[in-house]
């Protein structure tokens, strides 16, 4: 929406007495402060990456597996009938957003949940 239309709408709102500000610019500043108080644009970008990571059925199934115990990539592959590159790709996405962490033991890479309490809450909400 064009800035002039927004400004006119805010001016009408300010003049109507519905809001407690005298000018549209004061009201616009207050609205911007409220938006940043709730969640900043930088913070919202990071959080949206977590939601994008959760928006895939394979990754949800991987999280379900890992919530029961630590597993290596090959176990995830067998359990979900995935190829090694596909399993590694999904695990890397989950790791990049901080939902899982890895542990290397020789040539083996084991994955587990970073915050088990979070996943218990997700289970209680029937998300996992």
Answer whether residue 22 shows pLDDT above 70: no
Answer whether residue 75 shows pLDDT above 70: yes
Same domain, 109 and 91: yes
Same domain, 50 and 32: no
Same domain, 50 and 30: no
Answer whether residue 68 shows pLDDT above 80: yes
Residues 6+ positions from 7 with CB-CB distance below 8 Å? 24, 28
Same domain, 25 and 62: no
Supply the mean pLDDT for the chain.
84
Under 8 Å between Cβ of 87 and 78: no
Answer whether residue 11 shows pLDDT above 90: no
* CB-neighbour burial class of residue 102 (10 A; exposed 0-12, middle 13-18, buried 19+): middle
Answer whether residue 93 shows pLDDT above 60: yes
Same domain, 30 and 56: no
Domain of 72, CATH number, reads 1.10.10.10
3-class secondary structure for the chain?
CCHHHHHHHHHHHHHHCCCCCCCHHHHHHHHHHHHHHHCCHHHHHHHHHHHHHHCCHHHHHHHHHHCCCCEEHHHHHHHHCCCHHHHHHHHHHHHHCCCEEEEEECCEEEEEECCHHHHHHHHHCCCC
Distance CA 34, CA 36 (A): 5
Q: Has this prediction a pTM greater than 0.85?
A: no
- Residue 94 corresponds to which tokens in the numbers above? 């989950």
Same domain, 82 and 120: yes
Same domain, 16 and 64: no
Q: Where in the sequence is the domain holding 13, given as residue range(s)?
A: 3-38
Q: How confident is the model at residue 71 (pLDDT cuts 50, 70, 90)?
A: very high
Q: What is the pLDDT of residue 88?
A: 94
Same domain, 54 and 12: no
Total tally of structural domains belonging to the chain:
2
Same domain, 57 and 91: yes
Same domain, 22 and 50: no
């Amino acid at each position: 929406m064009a800035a002039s239309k927004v400004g006119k709408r805010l001016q009408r709102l300010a003049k109507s007495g519905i809001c407690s500000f005298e000018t549209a610019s004061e009201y616009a500043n207050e609205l911007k402060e409220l938006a940043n108080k709730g969640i900043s644009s930088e913070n919202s970008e990071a959080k949206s990456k977590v939601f994008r990571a959760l928006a895939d059925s394979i990754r949800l199934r991987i999280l379900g597996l890992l919530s029961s115990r630590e597993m290596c990539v090959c176990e995830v592959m067998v359990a979900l009938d995935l190829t090694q590159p596909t399993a590694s790709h999904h695990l890397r996405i989950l790791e990049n957003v901080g939902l899982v962490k890895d542990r290397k033991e020789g040539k083996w890479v084991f994955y587990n949940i970073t915050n088990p309490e979070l996943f218990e809450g997700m289970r209680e909400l029937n998300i996992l």
